[in-house]
Amino acid sequence: MIVFVVVDMIDVDVLVNTVFSGLSPLVIDDVPDQGELILIRARTPSRAVVCPDCGALTERVHGYHERVVADVPVDARRVVLRVRVRRMVCPTRGCWQTFREQVHGVLERYQRRTPRLAGQIGAVVKELAGRASARLLSALAVVVSRHTALRLLLGLPPPQRPVPRVLGVDDFALRRSRQYATVLIDAETHERVDVLPDREADTLEKWLREHPGVQIVCRDSSATYAEAIRRALPAAVQVADRWHLWHNFAEAAGKEVAAHSLCWAKSGPPPRDGPQAVTTQERWQQIHALIDKGVGLLECGRRLNLSLNTFKRYARITEPDRLVRVPKYRPTLVDPYREHLRRRREQNPAIAVTHLFNEIKDLGYGGSMNLLVRYITQGRVEGDLPPMSPRRLTSLVLTHPDHLTDTQRERHHELTTACPEMTALTSLVGSFAELLRPATANNDRLTDWISAAREEDLPHLHAFTRGLDRDRDAVDAAVTLSHHNGTTEGVNTKTKLLKRQMYGRAGFTLLRHRILLG
């Protein structure tokens, strides 16, 4: 049996009003289908309009014009709107003689797109900028060029935000090592406030004077920003970023671990006694001989033709052996056969390398003869491999003990108790990490920590403590207040993505606009 279903025919006006509800202020006359294009013929309603100059109502029509604008696509097809608009006559003497009526929300002055289509395009170009947005919009049946996309992007007004009470300041690279800019963030609401074209003190000072109201400023250890804030806002509280404090401390701790590598890596092969090691010891002796004579740092550097930083690095080391590093060996294809090579060389110390090569090749070795020769001559067969690199040990030292596995905890204890300096370093790491949890009494505890660090024979930590003293007020605020610069660092990370999206079009004006719109 065949069942016929009778469907009521939907009224065409109801369908048009449903599909094109955004065009309700207009009177739609016809919607012809032209294949890939949907053409809508419409007109403005016959009613009185207000003069835009004097506000008088008028119904006098001077003439008619046709406007062509694009609307949002329907059924993956472009929609073009042809609207007949009226040119009206103002009844007020001395006012404009004629004016063209505007339909707000549908037809904006001088625009070739409806506001809702412009809003959709704006949302896409704000995220993707030029070429990428043009490709995506073309897939959505909206045709714009990359130049039009950038022009629409720059036409979006950036949000106007009030001057924040807590300001975050940080720099980011426009061209690495050449040109930098400064981003300003509301540290409480996490909103972008402004972007400055450089990281000079005068630029930041000028902005702070023009925008009064900032009470607390979160920054990194930059002396330039600190000086600008002191000049513009002498009463403001400067807060050093805790992440940068930990990062700088981790670098100093890593240097100390590397300096004591001969203590915790005694089971490894001996350090290389080559020309570089001899030169290092001779340079250390020359530097300390000049220091003992009372020669100044700059004069010592000129006499030995060394930079000031290199001279300081040698000067703070009390023993030349601390400058010697255990050689770093990468894993090689020979490592799985080291025990076989050691056993064969113990049985026959005069065995030829070619015999060893053939033996391990039969066992599955896939490397070259040259690799095996270098492996043997470096002493890696007889000596145990270094337990780990200084970088890995530094990572263990800086990790909270609760986050280590049992094996890592055992290795950590074994290596950090190799010498008194490593034991003291481990203790200082734990106590400094506790200071990075803000509390009211942390400034006094920081003073005690600095005193304890200076009592140990850890010259790299001594340099770190001197840096803390130079910026002590900001460091005290960092360990006692909850404010931080983490949001600013997050914006810098997103800025790198924006720069990569725009390729060569990442000029400062466009980049600043996208940062503020984000």
Instruction: Look at residue 185 and tell me whether its pLDDT is greater than 80.
Output: yes
Residue 195 has which token pair?
């972007």
Structure confidence at residue 238 (pLDDT): 92
pLDDT tier at 448, thresholds 50, 70, 90 = very high
Average pLDDT over residues 493-514: 80
Query: Which is more confident, 128 or 9?
Result: 128
Structure confidence at residue 432 (pLDDT): 93
Query: Which is more confident, 374 or 427?
Result: 427
Query: Which is more confident, 59 or 388?
Result: 59
Instruction: For domain 166-241+484-517, give the fold.
Output: Nucleotidyltransferase; domain 5 (3.30.420)
Q: Rounded to an integer, what distance in angstroms lies between the CA atom of residue 516 and that of residue 352? A: 70
For strand 98-100 and strand 33-34, is the pairing parallel, antiparallel, or unpaired? unpaired
| Residues contacting 229, CB < 8 A, separation 6+ | 169, 204, 205, 208, 217, 219, 236, 238
Closest CA to 298 of 289, 308, 313: 308
Structure confidence at residue 4 (pLDDT): 42
Q: Which pTM was predicted?
A: 0.69
Instruction: Look at residue 106 and tell me whether its pLDDT is greater than 60.
Output: yes
Instruction: Look at residue 1 and tell me whether its pLDDT is greater than 70.
Output: no
Structure confidence at residue 480 (pLDDT): 92
Structure confidence at residue 445 (pLDDT): 92
Structure confidence at residue 167 (pLDDT): 92
Q: Where are the alpha helices (DSSP H) in 305-441?
A: 308-315, 338-347, 353-362, 369-377, 390-398, 406-416, 420-435
Contact (Cβ atoms closer than 8 angstroms) between residue 181 and residue 199: yes
